[in-house]
Amino acid sequence: MTTVRISTAPLSLEDLTAVVDGARVELDDSARATVAAAREIVDEALAARTAVYGLTTQVGHARNTRLTDEEIRGEQEFLVMSHYGGVGPPLPVPLVRAALAVRLVGIARGGSGAGVAVAETLAAMLNAGVHPLVPRTGSVGAADIALMAGMAQVAIGRGRAEYQGEVLAGADALRRAGIAPLVLGGKDGLAFISANGVSVGQAALVVARAARVAEAADKAAALSMEATAANPSVLHAAVGRAKPVPGQIAAADHLRELLAGSPLFGPDGSRSVQDALSFRVVPQVHGALREYVDAARIAVETELNAAADNPLVSVADRALISNGNFHPMVLALACDALRIAVAHVGQLSERRMAHLWDAFFQQPASPPPTSAYGLQLRYPAAAVFSELKQLAAPATLDTPPLDLGVEDHATGAPLSVRKTDTALGLLEDLLAIELLLAADILARSSPRPALGVGTDAVLDMVQKAIAEADPYPDAVHRVLRTRFPGPARS
């Protein structure tokens, strides 16, 4: 089994994905030393009874109220027990694993002031498969406090967890897994809960999914170009040189690879000197999606490997510093922007379907088609796009002031990420339907028309999905969607 080492070095999104998929984690000596050094600063503040938020004072609107010695001893468990809450269905296991891994990586940065035991417990829960049961909705994106508190409860032997397919009390899940319940001290409770584990973890999976969908969008557009005899001049390398947007160049390169060897590049290959914009601007729009996938990836990688804690422990300054690093603003905005790019790609797909529809009915009526799965899904595609367009609205401006006006701004990060995940699913639906509609046209040609190397393989994939599915358009769509662009993790 793969092992991912958690150290002071940056963790890649690929390593995080491996942990989500079940890889073991191992905390190395550099991380242990960094965590221990930060914990010394916390212990010094406790010994000196310095006023530190959430350590020797209460939190939120009561931040200036000092805790008694007795209250300090129980404050960390109180924070964990009092801040948990949420509504809706439980987070799926991949998202729980992502959140636990994100928090482990954050603690390894040393800024949290949590003890080494917290990191060891998180690693043990991941390796044993103890997955806290936490509702989907409970965070406004100023740290996923309520949801992370639910995970922390399991770590201390409270709450509920899924273990080996069974839902158990947290204490029972730990006992069966051979993990001792975590005893909270110092800043452990606040460090565990004051983090964006869910938002960052899901955003990492969304970025990976979006990259796959960007590739899939090119395949659908290329097959539609074959089906309508579109003009491939829009893919000429000179176009990219004239406006060197990296995503646009990458999309055009991919489309040329898919269409390599296609008759479209011949002297009589295309039907028109210039096609509708839904074909003509594919490199620009698909390229924009790639650009915003890259922007979201950078935002996620930054959050994943940051010390985003409040108070932040600075070993160099031997200080605990109140700050706002728990606010993943760039990540939230990146997902809002990504969702708009996704909607534009979906709009192009839906617009191309109108041209595919025309092309289908311009073919000779005889012999009648034996099946036309894409044709039957054309109207559902219009309904899907309507929903996709609504999801493009921003999620980052809607949180009201909370906690007596002290918490008067939030990022909306978890909602932005979740909406983007949903939008990607809808775009996958549109692309699958576009593929089926293009295949409807190509299937009526006998013998099978010559296609590009890549588009020929795409058509094979579509036809295999049709052959394996029940003879209903929704069933064919489901089978195709499992192959194209690949099942989503979340």
Same-domain pairing of 137 and 154: yes
Per-residue pLDDT of 239-295, as tens digits, reads 999 999 999 999 999 999 999 999 999 998 888 999 999 999 999 999 999 999 999
Q: Which amino acid is at 120?
A: E
- pLDDT bin (cut points 50, 70, 90) of residue 369 is low
CB-based burial of residue 29 (10 Å sphere; 0-12 exposed, 13-18 middle, 19+ buried)?
A: exposed
| Contacting residues for 321 by C-beta, under 8 A, at least 6 apart | 311, 312, 314
- φ, ψ dihedrals at 9, nearest 5°: -80, 155
- Residue length of the chain: 490
Per-residue pLDDT of 197-251, as tens digits, reads 999 999 999 999 999 999 999 999 999 999 999 999 999 999 999 999 999 999 9
The domain boundary residue, chosen from 195, 230, 248: 195
Per-residue pLDDT of 42-92, as tens digits, reads 999 888 888 888 888 888 898 888 888 788 888 999 999 999 999 999 999
Same-domain pairing of 164 and 216: no
Range of the domain at 25: 3-195
State the pairing for strand pair 24-27/3-6.
Answer: parallel
Token representation of residue 445: 């040609």
Same-domain pairing of 105 and 233: no
- Tell me the CA distances in angstroms from 276 to 250, 263, 280, 348, one per residue in order: 22, 20, 6, 10
pLDDT, position 340 = 98
With respect to residue 320, please indicate whether it lies within any of the assigned structural domains: no
Number of other residues whose CB lies within 10 A of the CB of residue 152? 34
142 touches 414 (CB < 8 A): no
Same-domain pairing of 167 and 269: no
- Tell me the CA distances in angstroms from 223 to 79, 149, 457, one per residue in order: 55, 48, 10
Quick one: average pLDDT of 158-187?
A: 96
CATH no. for residue 116?
1.10.275.10
With respect to residue 489, please indicate whether it lies within any of the assigned structural domains: no
What's the domain count of the chain? 2
Same-domain pairing of 421 and 470: yes
pLDDT, position 472 = 86
Give the residue carrying structure tokens 């796959």: 212
319 - beta bridge partners? 314
From CA 394, how far away is CA 414, in angstroms rounded? 12
With respect to residue 118, please indicate whether it lies within any of the assigned structural domains: yes
72 - beta bridge partners? none
Q: How would you classify residue 142: left for phi > 0, otherwise alpha for psi between -120 and 50, otherwise beta?
A: beta
Which of 108, 188, 104 lies closest to 153, judged by CA?
188
Token representation of residue 329: 């603003």
Same-domain pairing of 71 and 106: yes
Q: Which helix (H) or strand (E) holds 381?
A: helix 378-391
Quick one: average pLDDT of 156-181?
A: 97
From CA 149, how far away is CA 128, in angstroms rounded? 20
Same-domain pairing of 358 and 478: yes
* pTM over cut 0.85: yes
Same-domain pairing of 270 and 136: no
Give the residue carrying structure tokens 């000092």: 66
SS3 state at 314: strand
Which of 303, 325, 302 lies closest to 312, judged by CA?
325
Same-domain pairing of 275 and 371: yes
From CA 382, how far away is CA 16, in angstroms rounded? 36
177 touches 132 (CB < 8 A): no
With respect to residue 317, please indicate whether it lies within any of the assigned structural domains: no
From CA 332, how far away is CA 17, in angstroms rounded? 20
Per-residue pLDDT of 108-145, as tens digits, reads 999 999 999 999 999 999 999 999 999 999 999 999 99
SS3 state at 187: coil
Token representation of residue 426: 């809808």
- φ, ψ dihedrals at 314, nearest 5°: -105, 105
Give the residue carrying structure tokens 């601007």: 281
Q: Which helix (H) or strand (E) holds 313?
A: strand 312-314
CATH no. for residue 216?
1.20.200.10
Same-domain pairing of 339 and 248: yes
From CA 428, how far away is CA 488, in angstroms rounded? 10
With respect to residue 312, please indicate whether it lies within any of the assigned structural domains: no
Same-domain pairing of 208 and 242: yes
- The DSSP 8-state label assigned to residue 57 in this structure reads B
With respect to residue 318, please indicate whether it lies within any of the assigned structural domains: no
Q: How far is CA 83 from the centre of its chain?
A: 25
The domain boundary residue, chosen from 169, 195, 221: 195
- Tell me the CA distances in angstroms from 417 to 122, 127, 433, 490, one per residue in order: 24, 26, 25, 11
The domain boundary residue, chosen from 195, 229, 244: 195
Same-domain pairing of 162 and 69: yes
